[in-house]
Chains A and B, each alone.
Chain A
Amino acid sequence: MKERAALIDRTSRNDFVTYGMVIAAFVIVQILSSMGVLTNQLQGLLVPLCVYAIMAVSLNLVVGILGELSIGHAGFMCVGAFVSALFSNQVGGGMPSLLRFIIAILLGGIFAGIFGFLIGVPVLRLNGDYLAIVTLAFGEIIKNIINAVYIGIDGSGLHASLTSANKLVDAETGVILINGPQGITGTPRDSSFLIGILLLLVSLVIALNLTHSRDGRAIMSIRDNHIAAESVGINITKYKLTAFTLSAVIAGFAGALYAHNLATLTATSARFGYNMSIMFLVFVVLGGIGNFRGGIIAAVLLTLIPELLRFLSNYRMLIYAIILIVMMIISWNPASRAFMEKHRLGGHLFKKKNTAGKEGE
């Protein structure tokens, strides 16, 4: 037990601060909610906030820990969303809703992970800008295929078409599952803030525990110097794929949570396009590359700000852009960082680059 305590001391104290922050946020929201302070608009944002925070964790695993740029992560989220929604729709009332949702989330994660693995095998041979471009392309391909496909089921099994839903299934017994651009309708609204927070905690445990392990060290050694990593016998392909696949699994979780918060799930650009992927990247960069806690904080702030600025109507995005620029200047400016460190003003939020491998220290 003694060595366990020592290890917890050294590597995990910061992790527990991160978990504590998430739990504290949950408690505060619950208190505000019971006091009736939260507007409907804010209540409606709680689940999306969890989705984006989970996506920030997911992408941080690739960008911060593996050190590769991916701008197609919305694609993996899309896979998780559609697979989980399909499952929940098919099972319907045949299962208690909580169990059904848990299985849907797991399926979303597994299928997104399979996609991550299959795409990772060819794509991870590239690096830097080239990898970014190819992940961007794959993200768009996934979204566009799902947007174009019609899938139905009837007595004789599954049917798929890329043209129309007409005559796809037997008129009497058949059901259209994915109706092309109209997507999936009638997914049970299983998502709640509590489940979102729990899922965020699970994602954090996966990401942080992986980082502080033998595998995590191998992944970070590839990030820091792949030639040296190879020279000490690290299997580069294996660990790149491990990080990429696990990141896709977490993105799939986020997708499942997202899908079960919507009455109609469509694979539109606004939901799963590259703009979203870039937004996830902004969370990661602004929160400090490799800093899971900072990424979550950035995700929450950058999701809340445009909503809170709605009263400015047309000027909203202008102000948002200015806030973004100011945040970037503050978070990366050495003078302001020294100031924050001196006065202990969230120095953890905007962490120095050279501690990127050890988030939050």
Chain B
Amino acid sequence: MALLEVNHLAIQFGGLRAVDDFDLTIEKGELYGLIGPNGAGKTTVFNLLTGEYKPNEGIIKLDGENITGKSPIEINKAGIARTFQNIRLFKQLTVLDNVKVGLHNHYRYSTAASILRLPSYYRVEKEMNEKAYELLKVFHLDLDADTTLASNLPYGAQRKLEIARAMATGPKLLLLDEPAAGMNPNETQELMDTISLIRKDFGMTILLIEHDMKLVSGICEKLTVLNFGRILTQGITKDVLADPEVIKAYLGDD
């Protein structure tokens, strides 16, 4: 059974069908790319998958469970985590605390335990710290993580921290919205290494939006191309990128 199954997804803003008749099937462990020209509806698809928008039509199933129309919180608990096109970190929290917010729903102690500093506070906080550092090490962000504010990290590291925070929620499916946007070639290369690493270490299934064709052709196994809210073509990366329709959508008619 596929991890993510999307059938006939559609959403309408006023008279505009931003996404129409969108189908997508992602198998466990796949790295799937969603590409298309600006304004094609890629981020709208992400917002539909994460519950930010409610679809007008269609069904979204994650691991067999129908998650259509659920709230972002419920969908995160069901197992979808995301990053954002324009980085959304908790800027005034430390690097460590950013990841610990991601761990929030996996560790519990009562408000009373935190105010009275009961033993459960110390025990659970210690477990959270260990888990958070474990994750941060994978992303090479563990140095001074408890004293560095997220806003003081360099750009590339902020992107990585956002992925680390999403990973902390323990997702089955990770959505990356233009992870390489604004990165120089070195940072992009580092990001590609990080993505392969989380696939290898965590067996993570990833859906990503990207404009950087080098990254897309380098790591994505399958692609879906969106244009004007509709699927232009989908399939194996190599075939899709050779499709004349896709080249036309990106470069225009001559």
Contact = CB atoms under 8 A, between A and B. Distances in A.
A33 interface: no
Given A213-B114, A232-B76, A232-B169, A3 B90 contact: no
A122 to B, nearest CB: 20
B243 to A, nearest CB: 33
A214 B114 contact: yes
A-B interface, 5 closest residue pairs, ranked by CB to CB distance from nearest: A213-B114, A233-B76, A228-B88, A224-B90, A357-B92
19 contacts: A4-B122, A7-B122, A7-B125, A209-B114, A215-B111, A217-B100, A217-B104, A220-B90, A220-B92, A220-B97, A221-B93, A225-B90, A231-B50, A231-B82, A232-B166, A233-B77, A233-B169, A355-B149, A357-B92
A242 to B, nearest CB: 7
Contacts of B168: 232
Given A213-B121, A230-B72, A231-B76, A7 B104 contact: no
Interface string B95-130: 001001110110111010011110001101110100
Interface string B9-50: 000000000000000000000000000000000000000001
A37 B103 CA distance: 55
Contacts of B89: 224-225, 228
Given A209-B115, A210-B114, A210-B115, A233 B105 contact: yes
Contact of A7 (B82, B108, B111, B126): B126
Given A209-B117, A233-B77, A357 B50 contact: no
Contacts of A224: 89-93
Nearest to A235: B73
Interface string B143-157: 000100101100000
Task: Report, as a range, how many residues of chain B touch the other chain.
Answer: 35 or more
B69 to A, nearest CB: 16
B206 interface: no
Interface in A222-273: 223-225, 227-235, 242
A354 interface: yes
Interface residues of A, number: 36
B163 interface: no
Interface string B38-75: 00000000000010100000000000000000001100
A42 interface: no
A63 B166 CA distance: 27
Residue of B52, B89, B92, B97 ringed by the most chain A CB atoms within 10 A? B92
B115 A205 contact: yes
A356 B121 CA distance: 23
A227 to B, nearest CB: 6
A7 B111 CA distance: 18
B139 interface: no
Contacts of B125: 7, 213-214
Residue of A205, A223, A230 ringed by the most chain B CB atoms within 10 A? A230
B222 interface: no
B253 to A, nearest CB: 38
B124 to A, nearest CB: 7
